Chains A and B, each alone.
Chain A
Amino acid sequence: MDEKLAKALEASNLLDTINQQKKILQQQYDAGLIHYENGCQFTSSKELISFCQSLISLEQDQIVLIDDNGLPSLIEDLPVFTKNLVNTYATASNKYFNEYNKLKKQRSVAGIFND
């Protein structure tokens, strides 16, 4: 380990470093929630998933949704779109959960970076 890193690690407060890493994980989670379909971006949220499920239960196959750019997009196969949305949500959430748990168990700053 080089001198600069050793010095920084020494000076670091474990809680500060963990909090810093938590913030990054949260930002990565937000980025991971973005779902790309139909040439548009949709943030996969609990609300959007529930809305799509409601439409499916009302036997709707198609729907116009507003994407993250505020523009309308025709979703032609709503069940498939919803499934993809759930996959994106689950993948991002599971990754966040696993990384957060790894972080929570750390008892030293060096441990976080050597893991």
Chain B
Amino acid sequence: MTKGILVFAHNNAEIDYVKQAAFLAGRAKEYLNLPVSIVTDKESIGDRYKDWFDKIIINEIPTASTKKQYYNGAKTHSVLEFKNDNRCLAYELSPYDETLMLDSDYVIADDVFKNCFTSTYDFLLYKDAIDIAGNRDTGEFSTISETSVDFYWATCVFFRKTELNKRFFDLIKHIQEYYTHYRKVYNIQSTTYRNDFAFSIAIHIMNGFKQGNFAKKMPGRLFFTADRDILHSIDGDKFIFLLQCKDSLDNFSPCQIQGNSVHVMNKYTLEDNLSA
């Protein structure tokens, strides 16, 4: 059984996702001893980072990209292309029998994902996550809308190549194709296509349109910081963040976390800290 990490990285005008993916590849080797393959486009990767990846899979984004706001701290943001249309192809693009699919802004700092590959279960992802700030309303990560179904994170997903998982990813493709319809059925307000929403809808359908256990829990806990927070530094497995204070755009509270991986949503300050 082959095993490895798959990361999708398509750059836009300001964010170098490929650089983030290369950083992730370095840390994956250090903490998990796993090869990393990247799915990207020719323009994004160019001639860079050839030796960093196990396989470089070129997949040009097939459909028009959506746009979203990228925050850099609480006061600054840009509206940029959000090229996330091909995550549904993970099953067929992955060169591995057992795949750990990670977002490029997930910073590995522990070896807990080794337990995915020994798991009895074939499909794992997080339903719950921990906001390091601890004092914000995280209701948007509880259900995909106020009157809808459970929210699942597509940030870290483990899957084996099974017939059932193939059906799941085919279902994601279908949801993506008819997203306007599903968005209305599931009462999602935002028009931006999000992988988290598509995965959540697909899990709901796979469970027979109710809560169920098609998706099992990923090992460990998912820690995250919002894009309003600032990543000040990464030193080995130690992170220092400046967390936006509640109800204040100007004040930040420092915070430190060590020995756990973190999903860093502020792409700008993540890039500032990359040594790749």
Contact = CB atoms under 8 A, between A and B. Distances in A.
Contacts of B221: 27, 30-31
A50 interface: no
A39 B119 contact: yes
What are the nearest 7 A-B pairs in CB distance?
A: A39-B120, A31-B221, A36-B115, A8-B252, A23-B134, A69-B216, A39-B119
Contacts of B132: 24
Interface residues of B, number: 31
Contacts of A12: 253-254
Interface string A17-28: 100110110011
A38 B120 contact: yes
Nearest to B121: A69
Contacts of A23: 134
Interface string A26-70: 011011001010111100000000000000000000000000111
15 contacts: A4-B252, A8-B252, A8-B254, A16-B253, A17-B254, A24-B256, A27-B134, A31-B112, A34-B219, A36-B118, A39-B120, A69-B121, A69-B217, A70-B213, A109-B254
Nearest to B243: A20
A59 to B, nearest CB: 28
Interface of B: 112, 115, 118-121, 130, 132-134, 213, 216-217, 219-221, 223, 230, 232, 240, 242-243, 251-257, 259-260
B257 A68 contact: no
Contacts of A2: 232
A80 B222 CA distance: 29
Contact of A36 (B219, B243, B254): B219
Given A31-B260, A69-B217, A71-B213, A39 B253 contact: no
A112 B253 CA distance: 13
A40 B232 contact: no
Interface string A73-106: 1000000000000000000000000000000000
Contact of B251 (A11, A70, A109): A11
Nearest to B230: A4
B220 A31 contact: yes
Nearest to A70: B213
A24 B230 CA distance: 17
A109 B242 CA distance: 13
Given A31-B260, A41-B115, A73-B120, 15 more contacts: A2-B232, A4-B232, A5-B254, A8-B253, A21-B256, A27-B223, A28-B257, A38-B120, A39-B118, A39-B119, A39-B121, A41-B217, A112-B254, A113-B240, A113-B256
Contacts of B134: 20, 23-24, 27
Contacts of B251: 8, 11
A40 B118 CA distance: 8
A17 B223 contact: no
Contact of A4 (B119, B242, B243, B259): B242
Nearest to A31: B221
Contacts of B133: 20
Given A34-B219, A40-B120, A8 B213 contact: no
Nearest to A13: B253
